[in-house]
Amino acid sequence: MRKQIAAANWKMNLSIEQAETLMTDLLASPIELTENQQAVFGVPFPYLININQKIAGKQHFSLAAQNCSNKVSGAYTGEVSVEMLKSIGVPYVIIGHSERREYFNETNALLAEKVNICFEYGLLPIFCCGEALQIREAGTQNSYVENQLKESLFHLTGESLRGFVIAYEPIWAIGTGKTASSEQAQEMHAHIRNVMAEQFGKEIADSISILYGGSVKAANAKEIFGQTDVDGGLVGGASLVAAEFSAIINSLKK
C-alpha cells in the first residue's frame, strides 16, 4: 500500500517558543501511526534543527523544509540550498506551493529545476499543483493541473518517481474556509494519477502518494482521506493546533 501522509505546513507562523510548545503538545498526543503512515512537519527554516531534535527517534515522524533554492551554492543572498538542508538531516522539501507560485513567481520550469536538485542530493520533494478559482469556474482545471505536471515532472524517469509525493491544492480552498467536496478531491486525484500512469505506467502511478491541501480540518479529514486516490493531506492552519493536527494524523487510512 502506498504511503499515507499527514504533512503540516506551518508557513510563516509561530515564534520558536510557540513552535516548541506545539511540538511538545503533539508528541504528547495519542497519535498512532502504522508502517505505511507518516507525519511530516514543514516548519520555517530557523526552526528546522530544533524541531528535528525534538522528533529524533520518534517513529514515522519526519521533517520538511518549506522551500529550497534551484541553485547548488553561491552568491544568492537569502536562499537556502538542498545541500544545507541535507547537512542538517531534513529529508523532505515542499516544492511549488501555490503561495510560492503566486507571490514569488515560481514557474513550472523553475520547479523542474528544484525537483532535479532535490533528487540529485537525495531529498524527497512534496510537489504541489492546483488551480485558482477562475480556472475551476472555467472548467479547465484538469488540463491546467496536467500541464503543471508535464512541465515540471515529465522529463524524469518513471523509476525516479516511485514513491513520489504530489500535493493537490485547489487554491480557491486554501485559507478561505471553502473546501473541495470529497468527490471533487477524488476526481482531481484520480485525474492526476491517470496522467502519471499514462506517462510513467500504472505501477509507478499507483506508488505515488497524492495529498489533498485545502482547508483540511479534523472535522473533514476522515471523509477526504477516505477517498480512493487521496493519500493524506498537506495541512496549513489546522496544523498549528495540536489537538486538530493530531486528529488529522489519526484520520489517515490504515
pLDDT digits 0-9 by tens, 129-141: 999 989 998 999 9
Can you say whether the dihedral through the CA atoms of 132, 6, 93, 206 is positive or negative?
A: negative
Judge whether residue 173 has pLDDT over 90: no
In a domain? residue 17: yes
* 108 domain-assigned: yes
Catalytic position from the list 99, 106, 146, 169: 169
Q: Determine, yes or no, domain membership for 245.
A: yes
Nearest Cα to Cα of residue 122 among 160, 80, 152 = 160
What is the Rg, in whole angstroms, of the alpha carbon atoms belonging to the chain?
17
Is 16 within the bounds of a domain?
Answer: yes
Range of 138's domain?
4-249
Query: Among candidates 201, 198, 253, which has minimal Cα distance to 228?
Result: 253
Mean pLDDT value across residues 68-77: 98
Q: What pLDDT is attached to residue 29?
A: 95
Percent of the chain with pLDDT over 70: 98
pLDDT in tens, 132-166: 989 998 999 999 999 999 999 999 999 999 999 99
- Is residue 106 among the annotated active site residues? no
Name the 3-class secondary structure at 87: helix
pLDDT in tens, 76-129: 999 999 999 999 999 999 999 999 999 999 999 999 999 999 999 999 999 999
Q: Is the pLDDT of residue 177 over 70?
A: no
pLDDT of residue 180: 80
pLDDT at 178 over 80: no
In a domain, 14, yes or no: yes
Cβ burial of 165 (10 Å; 0-12, 13-18, 19+) is buried
Structure confidence at residue 253 (pLDDT):
93
Count: domains in the chain:
1
CA distance 47 to 63: 11
Among residues 60, 97, 189, 191, the one annotated as catalytic is: 97
Strands 165-168 and 4-9: unpaired
In a domain, 254, yes or no: no
The yes-or-no verdict on residue 179 having pLDDT over 90 is no
Residue 242 lies in a domain: yes
Strands (E), the chain: 4-9, 37-42, 61-65, 92-95, 124-129, 165-168, 209-212, 232-235
Residue 174, pLDDT above cutoff 80: no
* Residue 61 included in any domain: yes
Whichever domain contains 104, its CATH number is 3.20.20.70
Average predicted confidence (pLDDT) for the chain: 96
